[in-house]
Amino acid sequence: MSSPEELIAEATKKTKKSSGFLSSFFGSSQQSKYEDAADLYVEAANLYKLQRRSAEAGHTFEKAAECQKLAESPDEAANTLVEAYKAYKTEVPIEAAQCLEKAIIMFVKRGQFRRSATFKADLGEMYENELHDVAKAIKSYEDASEWYKGDSANALANKCALKAADLYCDDSIHDYAKAGQVYESIAKDSLNNNLAKWSLKEYFLKAILCRLADGNDYASASACLNRFKQWDPSFETTRECEFSTKLIEAVKEGNPDSVATASRNFDKFSRLDGMKVRILNKIKGNIVEAPDQLEEDFT
């Protein structure tokens, strides 16, 4: 069995352009040479994978994809870039992300939006968890959501949109208004969905928290609360509704201690996750005495 290095050397020779009468006479086209070179690079990359040399495998898959593009085989090239992404993923995530971005562009050009959406969601997770690039993670999740929606995969679309909304609440972004709009929109879309309806109280609570975190806007939060009760009358009997009501009152009164007390009491029955804790701390920290002349607008 040849070594990966020997296969790569052989592939490299084939990528060198041939010229002359004999070459064309015997049908040795450059395109077929690129195809042969790509096969050799793929074989070498797989050997690197067996040797657990992930970075070398990823780099060699990239070379194979380049040859496949030159051989006018874009579908094969895109699939090989996905293999490069998989190889790079554990050791060189930035290279993995770049390969997957290139593959997605190629899938989109071929109209493969469902597949592109799946890989965009994977890319969002990589930007969020490995590369810690919140802005790019949000963009990836939003693209995936739109493409899923275009393919009528609404549950997957909402899942990605919710991930983007959660990241809008990240300490590096703080776009609570945008996050709140997403939670409310998904809640509205879920009203007649029996599978998603159980999550309504979670979406309602997050939307209200975001309204309160966005400049202590208790008037807007109160309007949301009333609207949510109309959308789903059963919400009024939940602890989430009771908690929301107490938080709105606390912000309106400018009482940070009441926010803390309400949060502790709610946490006893329903554990607050890290994101909600961060938002509640933001609400508590922003509270000031409400001006006497402030007029409420519940429109």
Average pLDDT on 82-94 reads 96
Exposed / middle / buried, residue 133 (Cβ in 10 Å: 0-12, 13-18, 19+):
middle
The mean pLDDT value of the chain amounts to 91
User: Does residue 260 surpass a pLDDT of 80?
Assistant: yes
209-234 pLDDT tens trace: 999 999 989 999 999 999 999 999 99
* pLDDT bracket for residue 19 (50, 70, 90): low
The tens digit of pLDDT for each residue in 132-185 reads 999 999 999 999 999 999 999 999 999 999 999 999 999 999 999 999 999 999
Q: How far apart are CA 157 and CA 113, in angstroms?
A: 12
pLDDT at 292 over 80: no
pLDDT computed for residue 49 by the predictor: 95
pLDDT in tens, 20-32: 444 444 445 888 9
For residue 288, the model assigns a pLDDT of 61
| % residues pLDDT > 90 (the chain) | 85
According to the model, what pLDDT value does residue 289 have? 45
17 pLDDT tier (thresholds 50, 70, 90): low
Residue 297 has a pLDDT of: 37
Q: What's the pLDDT score for residue 221?
A: 97
* 67 close to 38: Cβ distance less than 8 angstroms: yes
Collapse the DSSP code of 168 into the 3-class scheme (helix H, G, I; strand E, B; otherwise coil) and give the result: helix
CA distances from 122 to 137, 140, 144 (A): 10, 9, 9
Residue 18's pLDDT band (cuts 50, 70, 90): low
| Residues comprising the chain, all counted | 299
Q: Dihedral (C-alpha) 159, 276, 239, 267: value to the nearest 10 degrees? A: 130
Q: What is the mean pLDDT of residues 83-95?
A: 96
- Prediction pTM value: 0.88
How far is it, in rounded angstroms, from Cα 257 to Cα 55? 53
d(CA 175, CA 114): 28
